[in-house]
Amino acid sequence: MYHDYYICFCFIRCYLETQGDLGAVAKGTQAGAPEVHNLKKKAIITTGVTIVIWLIITLIIIFEIITIHDIDLFRRLAG
């Protein structure tokens, strides 16, 4: 659930066109203020990356490629 936000923050600066980039800074705003944010494109990229990450994690769990016993660093689960 929280992976969506992390991935979104990774893409938040991608495809961003600021007012300074376009040379049209509105009075009372900073040059770094977004002019074109491309939010739909970022949402699609974020959703796609999140689906791929969850698919990989799900397949690892289902096919038991890595189990809880593999990451038992302190040998507490050894029976």
pTM over 0.85: no
Distance CA 14, CA 39 (A): 10
Domains of the chain, by residue range, sit at 3-62
What tens digit of pLDDT does each residue of 11-62 get?
Answer: 788 888 999 999 989 999 999 998 888 889 888 988 898 899 999 999 999 9
Q: Angle at CA 16, nearest 5°, toward 12 and 22? A: 160
* Interhelix angle 3-11/39-62, nearest 10 degrees: 140
Task: Name the strand (E) or helix (H) holding 31.
Answer: none
**Cβ distance 78 to 72 under 8 Å?**
yes
Q: Rounded to an integer, what distance in angstroms lies between the CA atom of residue 79 and that of residue 32?
A: 59
